[in-house]
Structure 1
Amino acid sequence: MKNNRYIDKIFIVVMLLFFICLTGLLFHSIKKALPDEINIIANGEQQFDFGLPVNGFIKSAVEVSEIGESNIPSNQIKIDMHKPFTLKSGNGGSFVMACKLFGLINLKNVKIDVVDKEYVIPCGMPIGIYIQTDGVLVIGTSVVNAMDGMNYEPSYKLVKSGDYIVGVNGTKINNKNELISLINQDGANSIVLNIRRSGELIDVKIEPVQTTPDEYKLGVWVRDNTQGIGTLTFIDKDAEFGALGHGINDVDTSTLMELKSGSLYHTNIVSIIKGEKGVPGELTGTIDYDKKNILGEINRNTTEGIFGISEKILSQYDKDRSMMEVGLKQDVKVGPAHIRCNVEGEIKDYDVEIIEVNTGENNVNKGIVLKVTDERLLNVTGGIVQGMSGSPILQNNKIIGAVTHVFIQDSTKGFGIFIENMLQSKNVE
Structure 2
Amino acid sequence: MKFNSIRNGIGIMLLVAFLSIPFLTPFQTYLSIPNQITTFHNQDNIDVPTLGTSVAVSSTDDNQVIQALGDTEFTTVSPGQSEIVYELAGLPIKKVNVDILDDFKVIPSGHSIGVNLQTLGVLVVGHHVIDSKNGKKSPAEEANIQVGDTILKINGKDISSMKDVAPFVEQAGDDGKALNVTIKRNEETFETKLKPTMDEKTNEYKIGLYIRDSAAGIGTMTFYDPKSKKYGALGHVISDMDTKKPIEINDGTIVYSSIKSIEKGNNGVPGEKHAEFSTADGELGTITKNSPFGVFGKLNKDLNNGEFNEPMPIALSSEVKEGPAKILTVIEGSKVEEFDVDIVNSVPQKFPATKGMILKITDPELLDATGGIVQGMSGSPIIQNGKVIGAVTHVFVNDPTSGYGVHIEWMLNEAGIDIYEKSNDKKAS
By the TM > 0.5 criterion, same fold? yes
CA distance in 2, matches of 1:46, 1:152: 70
CA distance in 2, matches of 1:319, 1:385: 24
**Offset at residue 271 of structure 1 (A):** 0.9
Give SS of 1:322's match: coil
Matching residue of 1:150: 135
Of 318-327 and 205-214, more deviation after overlay is shown by 318-327
In the alignment, does 2:124 pair up with 1:167? no
Cα distance 1:176–1:275, how it changes in 2: closer, same or farther (>3 A)? same
Q: TM-score, normalised by structure 1?
A: 0.73
Answer whether contact 1:66 1:86 (CA < 8 A) is retained. Answer: no
CA distance in 2, matches of 1:149, 1:374: 64
Cα distance 1:248–1:270, how it changes in 2: closer, same or farther (>3 A)? same
Q: TM-score, normalised by structure 2?
A: 0.73
CA distance in 2, matches of 1:94, 1:144: 68
Answer whether contact 2:236 2:295 (CA < 8 A) is retained. Answer: yes
Matching residue of 2:397: 408
Q: Which amino acid aligns with 2:311?
A: M
In the alignment, does 2:264 pair up with 1:265? no
**Offset at residue 112 of structure 1 (A):** 9.4
Q: Which amino acid aligns with 2:135?
A: M
Answer whether contact 1:404 1:417 (CA < 8 A) is retained. Answer: yes
Of 255-264 and 211-220, more deviation after overlay is shown by 211-220
Deviation per CA, 1:302-325, whole angstroms, max 9, x where unpaired? 11111111142x252589961100
Identity %: 37
CA distance in 2, matches of 1:366, 1:71: 38
**Offset at residue 73 of structure 1 (A):** 5.0
Matching residue of 2:40: 41
In the alignment, does 2:337 pair up with 1:351? no
Matching residue of 1:17: none
Q: Which amino acid aligns with 2:131?
A: A
2:246 pairs, out of 250, 256, 259, with 256
Deviation per CA, 1:358-412, whole angstroms, max 9, x where unpaired? 2347872211101011100000000110000000000000010100001100110
Answer whether contact 1:47 1:330 (CA < 8 A) is retained. Answer: no
CA distance in 2, matches of 1:39, 1:163: 43
What is the 5 A alignment of 1:62-77? 66-68=49-51, 70-71=55-56
Matching residue of 1:54: none
Q: Which amino acid aligns with 1:202?
A: F
**Offset at residue 292 of structure 1 (A):** 4.7
2:360 pairs, out of 371, 380, 402, with 371
In the alignment, does 2:325 pair up with 1:340? no
Deviation per CA, 1:4-52, whole angstroms, max 9, x where unpaired? xxxxxxxxxxxxxxxxxxxxxxxxxxxxxxxxx985435988879xxxx
Q: Which runs of 4+ in 1 moved over 6 A?
A: 43-48, 85-90
Cα distance 1:192–1:93, how it changes in 2: closer, same or farther (>3 A)? farther
What is the 5 A alignment of 1:13-412? 39-41=38-40, 66-68=49-51, 70-71=55-56, 91-92=79-80, 115-140=101-126, 142-148=127-133, 150-156=135-141, 158-187=144-173, 188-212=176-200, 214-237=203-226, 238-288=228-278, 290=279, 292-312=281-301, 314-317=302-305, 322-345=310-333, 346-360=335-349, 364-412=353-401
Answer whether contact 1:121 1:319 (CA < 8 A) is retained. Answer: no
Of 182-191 and 401-410, more deviation after overlay is shown by 182-191
In the alignment, does 2:407 pair up with 1:418? yes
- Extract unaligned runs of 5+ from structure 1: 1-36, 49-64, 76-84, 96-110
Give SS of 2:242's match: coil
The CA RMSD over aligned residues, in Å, is 3.2
Structure of greater Rg: 2
CA distance in 2, matches of 1:121, 1:73: 35
**Offset at residue 235 of structure 1 (A):** 1.1
Deviation per CA, 1:154-211, whole angstroms, max 9, x where unpaired? 2226223332211111122111121123112211421110223334432111222211
**Offset at residue 241 of structure 1 (A):** 1.2
CA distance in 1, matches of 2:130, 2:186: 31
Cα distance 1:92–1:358, how it changes in 2: closer, same or farther (>3 A)? same
CA distance in 2, matches of 1:280, 1:219: 34
Q: Which amino acid aligns with 1:330?
A: S
CA distance in 1, matches of 2:246, 2:160: 18
CA distance in 1, matches of 2:130, 2:99: 60
Answer whether contact 1:45 1:87 (CA < 8 A) is retained. Answer: no
Answer whether contact 2:108 2:308 (CA < 8 A) is retained. Answer: no
Q: Which amino acid aligns with 1:269?
A: I
CA distance in 2, matches of 1:321, 1:381: 25
CA distance in 1, matches of 2:74, 2:205: 66
**Offset at residue 149 of structure 1 (A):** 6.3
CA distance in 2, matches of 1:230, 1:73: 47
CA distance in 2, matches of 1:172, 1:46: 56
Cα distance 1:184–1:234, how it changes in 2: closer, same or farther (>3 A)? same
CA distance in 2, matches of 1:376, 1:39: 37
Q: Which amino acid aligns with 2:243?
A: T
Cα distance 1:39–1:191, how it changes in 2: closer, same or farther (>3 A)? farther
Answer whether contact 1:144 1:217 (CA < 8 A) is retained. Answer: no
Q: Which amino acid aligns with 1:264?
A: I
Matching residue of 2:90: none
Give SS of 1:378's match: helix
- Extract unaligned runs of 5+ from structure 2: 1-35, 61-71, 84-96, 419-429
